[in-house]
Amino acid sequence: MPVINRIAEFHADMTAWRHDLHQHPELALKETRTSGVVQQLLHGFGVDEVHAGLAGTGVVGVIRGAHPGSAAIGLRADMDALPIHEETGTAWASQTPGVMHACGHDGHTSMLLGAAKYLAETRNFAGTVYVIFQPADENFGGGRMMVDEGLFEQFPMQQVYGMHNWPSVPAGTFKWRDGPIMAAVANIDITVTGRGAHGAQPHMGVDPIVVSAAIVQALQSIVSRNVEPARAGVVTIGSIQGGHIFNVIPETVRMLGTARWFDPEVGDLLEAGVIRVATHVAQGFGATADVRFSREYPATVNDPAAMALARHAAESVSGPARVEHMALPTMGGEDFSFMLNAKQGAYIMLGAGRGPDDAMVHHPKYDFNDDILPVGASYWATLAEQLLPRG
Ligand SMILES: [Zn+2]
Ligand SMILES: [Zn+2]
C-alpha cells in the first residue's frame, strides 16, 4: 500500500496549510496563531474532542475509531519556528522578519493535520488516536511541559510516536534506528572574571581574554582524552563575548556552548569535566570562572518493539527498499525524548531531500519539501490503522 489515495486527494489542502503556517511562523511558547489554526482545522474535520492549553499553546485532538477498544496511541508533531531571517525568496516566505520555519515544523504540523482529517473521516480502527501538537521543540522543552502538565494522565495511551523530516535523505525514504537516535543536550555558560587594565599595562590586571583562550583549548581535551573513544560526546563553545576596544583589557568574558552525548555516564563526565577544566584553568591564571552546565533534553531513545511497528507502517507506505537503517544517530537534540522517557514509542526520520544543493534544517534557505506531505500523513494514518486493528 503506497500513499493512501484519499490522503493524496487533499495534497493541495495540506500544501495550503503548510504555506499559511510558513508565512506566519511563531517562536517557542508563542505559537498562539498556529495553535488557533490547528484547533480550527481539527474542529472542521469533525475530530471528537479538541483540547487546548497543555504547555500553553499545545493542542490534543481525540479521534475515536468506528470500532470500540481500549487501545490508544499518540502521534506527535511540533509547531514552533526559529529566530532565523528567511532567505528562500518563495511566495510563501515568512512575513515576520527574523522568524522562520527553518526546521520544517510547519510541514510536521500539516502532515499530522492531514492524518487527522483522514482518520476523522474514515475511523477505520478500534480504540483512540490522540493527535498531539506540541509547542516549543527548539527551546524551553514543550515536550517536557506537556508531560509534566499531565498529557499521559489526561489522555491515557499505550504508545507515542514522533517523526522529523530530513533534507539529506531522499524524499519519501524513511530512516529508522533502535536505541539512541538523537543526543542529550546541555547548555554551557561560563563567565571568566579577571581584573581590567589598560591594554598597554597588562601586568596591572588579570586578562580574562587570555584565560578564556586557554579554557577553550583545554575544553577540547575532555572529549579527546576523557571520553572513551568508542562512545560519543561533543563540547562546543559557540560564542565568546568580552571587551570592546583595541587597548582595554576587560574585566570579564562570557562564553556560551553546547554539550551532547547519548550515554548518561558520558553526560556526567562532560559536566564534571567542563566545570573542572574551566574552574581550574581560570584559577591557574589568577582569575575565576563561574560555570553553568544546564541539562536541557535527554537523549531520544527508540524502543525496539515500537520501532519495529513504526518500520512496518513506513514500509507499507514507501516500500521496504525505501525504509533504511540509520547507521549512526545524530547529535541533534529533540524534546520528544521526554515523551519517550514517559511512554513506549519510537521516532522516525522521513527524507525530504530534493537534490545535492538542498539546504539543511536551521539554514535560512531551507524550506520544507511539500512533496512528502502525503507520505508523512499516510505514514501516520497507516501506523494508527495497523496499531489499532479492528477486532
Ligand atoms: Zn530544529
Ligand atoms: Zn525540528
Per-residue pLDDT, 277: 98
H helices within the chain, ranges in order?
5-9, 11-23, 32-45, 105-122, 142-148, 151-154, 208-221, 264-284, 304-318, 337-342, 373-387
pLDDT average, residue stretch 358-376: 97
Closest-approaching ligand to the CA atom of 78: 2
Once rounded to an integer, what is the mean pLDDT over residues 69-78?
Answer: 97
pLDDT value at position 2?
80
pLDDT band (50, 70, 90) for residue 350: very high
Please give the distance, rounded to the nearest whole angstrom, from the Cα atom of residue 64 to the centre of ligand 1.
31
Could you tell me the distance, in angstroms and rounded to a whole number, from the CA of residue 391 to the centre of ligand 2? 36
Q: Of all helices (H) and strands (E), which one includes residue 131?
A: strand 126-134
Distance from the alpha carbon of residue 142 to the mean position of ligand 1, in angstroms? 13
**Residues within 5 Å of ion ligand 1 by Cβ?**
103
pLDDT of the residue at 249: 98
Q: How far is the CA of 65 from the centre of ligand 1 (A)?
A: 33
Instruction: Calculate how far, in angstroms, residue 104's C-alpha sits from the geometric centre of ligand 2.
Output: 6
104-129 burial: b if 16+ Cβ within 10 Å, else e: bbbbbbbbbbbbbbbbbebbbbbbbb
Question: Would you state the torsion angle of the CA atoms of residues 295, 300, 359, 171, taken in this order, to the nearest 10 degrees?
Answer: -170
CA distance 74 to 137: 17
CA 66–ligand 2 middle distance (angstroms):
33
pLDDT band for position 42 (cuts 50, 70, 90):
very high
Residue 212 CA to ligand 2 center (angstroms) comes to 32
Gap from CA of 65 to ligand 2 centroid (Å): 30
* pLDDT reading at 276 higher than 70: yes
Environment class of residue 18 by beta-carbon count within 10 Å: exposed (0-12), middle (13-18) or buried (19+)? Answer: buried
Is it the case that residue 1 has pLDDT exceeding 60?
Answer: no
- Position 289 scores a pLDDT of 98
* pLDDT reported for residue 255: 98
What is the CA(348)–ligand 2 centre distance, in A? Answer: 12
> How much is the pLDDT for 139?
87
Q: Using DSSP bridges, classify how beta strands 174-176 and 179-182 pair: parallel, antiparallel or unpaired.
A: unpaired
Strand pairing category for 67-78 and 159-170: parallel
Name the closest ligand to CA 104: 2
Q: Separation of 243 CA from ligand 1 center, angstroms?
A: 32
Q: How confident is the model at residue 391 (pLDDT cuts 50, 70, 90)?
A: confident
Distance 138 CA to ligand 1 centre (A): 6
The residue-averaged pLDDT of 70-88 equals 97
pLDDT tens by residue, 191-249: 999 999 999 999 999 999 999 999 999 999 999 999 999 999 999 999 999 999 999 99
Q: How far is the CA of 104 from the centre of ligand 1 (A)?
A: 8
- Between the CA of 226 and the centroid of ligand 2 the distance, in Å, is 31
Instruction: Please give the distance, rounded to the nearest whole angstrom, from the Cα atom of residue 353 to the centre of ligand 1.
Output: 16
CA of 164 to the centre of ligand 2 (A): 6
Q: Which ligand is closest in space to the CA of residue 332?
A: 1
Amino acid at 143: G
Relative to the alpha carbon of 165, which ligand is closest? 2
CA of 299 to the centre of ligand 2 (A): 15
The whole-chain average pLDDT of the chain stands at 97
CA Rg, the chain, in Å? 23
Residue 146 near residue 131, CB atoms below 8 Å: no
Percent pLDDT > 90 in the chain is 98
Average pLDDT over residues 5-22: 97
Phi, psi of 51 (to 5 degrees): -110, 130
pLDDT in tens, 157-188: 999 999 999 999 999 999 999 999 999 999 99
pLDDT at 14: 98
- Tens digits of residue pLDDT in 95-119: 999 999 999 999 999 999 999 999 9
